[in-house]
């Protein structure tokens, strides 16, 4: 039986009840799409993910990759290649491809709903198929020749990587030492070593285009001196795409990892034995800004992957709790003859399941709400939306991305271990159940594409301070209006409104430290010690808002069909508000009392 259970019912509720995505279908650039068609796509993806894709999930972990050190080539398990082929043959990679290249013109909200199921079922399939998304970057930012390359990437199903990290320069991308030297024919020769490169090689496509950050000779240090180059595994004919000789980019090692074992994480060498020929993207030296087009997509993917895994963990835990018979009902414990019951009857198991449900459904709503902002951006660009309004939407999307990635990955990984796996007791620690693999596979989500600490710093310094509070002000105003709207959930909304005020005070305190740091630089430490705390608190408030909105909708439907589903929605929201939002007052107190003294402690005292 498949390890994966898609929660399509909740996906549909989020898309069409909570976010009213039906209102954008049949209009503007999505004029050829309706709800029935969208749901047909989602139903097909559900079938695909629960069967064809999930079938190789365990093999991918147990067999992993096989690396040939002599050739630098990587072989994947046959079962995984079969699953990948099913995904590609269904044309699902084309959800990331511009219509001009033969892609599907669908809203980002539908695209990320599809991605949730793929990432929850067998995440490495989605990761290996990144060439389709990278083709869009080459098409939008590239020269006319590079637009042809984008077409080859789609039609020939080529792979792609993003190469940033170097052995001596991890998150400090600007410290990278890879060098680019321009040649008389206009190409570039790149030399250097890159590390932790996802999908560096695989035997599921004939060519791979590496998107590589390197510093051209004579360019200044730091991130602003970096340029982005396209380096193919095989040189190709730029008119026909026919492959020629091997290029000088090779895998030199494959990381032996804690999880996500079928995803090849590689050390790559550029230009050691023969030139690594590359092409400057767009023929402009704007590497870090260009690479961020890929990084933003990758961060959305990572958060979605984490949240999808939590949903899968919860669905497995729920099923187990309903069938595992152990112990008497708590109220009958003194009666030795009382019948044994399913563990879902036990209070702490119920607590655990409701925690999982609230976070999984709340964070699913977070992903799809963020995607709905991306819907509005896509439609706004197509329809010539006022520039200020478009800028507001883009700022809001930027604000939400570190919440999706940082908060989503951190909460998901912690809950998978402390709640989902815990539901199984000792059985969860065995390979008989998928939870131990979920935990191992999900840990990477808190680490790559920027650790949680980096997401917190980005959230505060770039998305709040540099943005001058525009985006956080827009969403806070909308949440405050909801908190004050009364109705059936008035008491819960009031508690939510109080937590929102606490978060506002936390932001004000940290902004105050940012201002005072101009006179006293050490005040920056007070911020750095608390940006992750702020990110988690904002995430909880946004989740509470989305859960309460769902509960308000469910309140009007609880007496009709699917009443248990809607009752679950109401209960999850109320539970989250009463059990998690009160912690935010303590977080505010901690931030306001921060002295920064930890930074004065001698290293020997640790």
Q: Please, which residues have CB within 8 angstroms of residue 299's CB and are 6 or more apart in sequence?
A: 401, 402, 404, 405, 449, 450, 455
* Coil, strand or helix at 197: strand
The Cα-based distances of 394 to 45, 179, 277, 378, 471 in angstroms read 29, 33, 35, 10, 9
**Tell me, what DSSP letter sits at residue 458?**
I
The DSSP secondary structure of 239-296, one letter per residue, reads: TT--EEEEPSEEEEEE---SS-TTS-EEEEEESSSS-EEEEEGGGSS-HHHHHHHHHH
CA gyration radius for the chain? 25
Residue (of 253, 195, 240) closest to 65 by Cα position: 253
Residue pair 585/368 in contact (Cβ under 8 Å)? The answer is: no
User: Which two structure tokens, joined as six digits, stand for 1?
Assistant: 């039986």
Q: Quick one: which H or E segment has residue 370?
A: helix 347-383
Compute CA 66 distance to the chain's CA centroid, rounded to the nearest angstrom: 27
Angle between helices 131-141 and 144-155 (to 10 degrees): 160
CA–CA separation, 554 vs 9, rounded Å? Answer: 13
User: Which two structure tokens, joined as six digits, stand for 292?
Assistant: 């961020």
Residue pair 492/484 in contact (Cβ under 8 Å)? The answer is: no
Task: Count other C-beta atoms under 10 Å from residue 246's C-beta.
Answer: 14
Q: How many residues does the chain have?
A: 606
Residue pair 114/42 in contact (Cβ under 8 Å)? The answer is: yes
Residue-wise burial string across 576-599, b where 16 or more C-beta atoms lie within 10 A, e elsewhere: bbeebbeebeebbeebeebebeee
Please confirm, yes or no, whether 239 is among the known catalytic residues.
Answer: no
Q: Please, which residues have CB within 8 angstroms of residue 267's CB and are 6 or more apart in sequence?
A: 167, 193, 194, 195, 196, 197, 200, 251, 252, 253, 254, 255
The single residue of 449, 502, 552, 594 carrying the catalytic annotation is 449
Tokens 């590689």 correspond to 266
CA–CA separation, 45 vs 95, rounded Å? Answer: 12
Torsion (CA) 423, 426, 429, 434 in degrees, nearest 10: -50
CA–CA separation, 214 vs 271, rounded Å? Answer: 12
**Tell me, what DSSP letter sits at residue 508?**
H
CA–CA separation, 178 vs 196, rounded Å? Answer: 15
Active site members: 449
């Amino acid at each position: 039986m498949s390890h994966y259970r898609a929660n399509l019912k909740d996906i549909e509720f989020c898309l069409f009840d909570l976010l009213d995505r039906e209102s954008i279908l049949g209009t503007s650039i999505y004029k050829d799409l309706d709800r029935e068609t969208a749901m047909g796509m989602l139903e097909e993806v559900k079938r695909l993910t629960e069967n064809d894709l999930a079938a190789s999930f365990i093999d991918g972990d147990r067999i992993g990759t096989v690396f040939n050190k002599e050739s630098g080539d990587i072989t994947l398990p046959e079962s995984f290649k079969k699953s990948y082929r099913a995904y590609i043959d269904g044309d699902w990679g084309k959800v990331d491809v511009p219509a001009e290249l033969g892609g599907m013109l669908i809203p980002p909200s539908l695209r990320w709903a599809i991605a949730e199921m793929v990432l929850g079922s067998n995440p490495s399939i989605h990761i290996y198929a990144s060439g389709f998304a990278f083709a869009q970057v080459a098409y939008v930012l590239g020269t006319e020749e590079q637009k042809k390359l984008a077409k080859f990437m789609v039609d020939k199903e080529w792979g792609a990587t993003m190469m940033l990290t170097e052995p001596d320069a991890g998150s400090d991308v600007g410290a990278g030492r890879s060098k680019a030297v321009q040649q008389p024919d206009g190409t570039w020769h790149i030399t250097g070593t890159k590390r932790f490169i996802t999908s560096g090689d695989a035997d599921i496509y004939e060519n791979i285009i590496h998107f590589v950050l390197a510093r051209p000779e004579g360019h200044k240090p730091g991130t602003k001196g970096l340029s982005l180059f396209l380096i193919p595994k095989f040189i190709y004919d730029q008119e026909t795409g026919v492959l020629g000789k091997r290029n000088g980019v090779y895998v030199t090692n494959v990381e032996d990892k804690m999880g996500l074992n079928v995803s090849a994480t590689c050390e790559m060498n550029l230009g050691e034995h023969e030139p690594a020929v590359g092409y400057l993207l767009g023929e402009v030296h704007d590497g870090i800004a260009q690479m961020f087009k890929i990084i933003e997509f990758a961060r959305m993917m990572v958060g979605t992957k984490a949240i999808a895994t939590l949903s899968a963990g919860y669905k497995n835990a729920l099923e187990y709790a309903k069938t595992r018979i152990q112990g008497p009902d708590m109220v009958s414990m003194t009666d030795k003859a009382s019948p044994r019951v399913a563990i879902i009857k036990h209070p702490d198991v119920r607590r655990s399941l409701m925690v999982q449900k609230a976070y999984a459904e709340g964070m699913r709503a977070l992903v799809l709400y963020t995607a709905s902002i991306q819907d509005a951006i896509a439609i706004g660009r197509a329809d010539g939306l006022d520039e200020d309004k478009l800028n507001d939407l883009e700022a809001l999307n930027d604000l939400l991305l570190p919440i999706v990635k940082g908060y989503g990955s951190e909460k998901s990984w912690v809950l998978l271990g402390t709640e989902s796996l815990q539901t199984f007791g000792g059985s969860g620690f065995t390979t008989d159940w998928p939870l131990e693999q979920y935990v191992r596979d999900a840990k990477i989500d808190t680490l790559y594409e920027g650790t949680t600490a980096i997401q917190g710093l980005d959230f505060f310094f770039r998305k709040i301070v540099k943005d001058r509070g525009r985006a956080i002000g827009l969403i806070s105003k909308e949440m405050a209006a909801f908190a004050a709207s009364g109705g059936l959930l008035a008491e819960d909304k009031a508690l939510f409104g109080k937590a929102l005020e606490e978060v506002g005070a936390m932001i004000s305190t940290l902004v105050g430290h940012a201002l005072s740091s101009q006179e006293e630089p050490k005040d920056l430490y007070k911020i750095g010690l608390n940006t992750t705390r702020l990110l988690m608190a904002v995430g909880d408030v946004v989740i509470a808002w989305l859960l309460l909105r769902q509960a308000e909708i469910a309140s009007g439907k609880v007496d009709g069909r699917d009443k248990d589903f809607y009752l679950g929605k109401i209960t999850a929201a109320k539970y989250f508000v009463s059990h998690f939002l009160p912690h935010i007052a303590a977080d505010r107190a901690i931030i306001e009392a921060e002295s920064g003294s930890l930074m004065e402690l001698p290293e020997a005292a640790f």
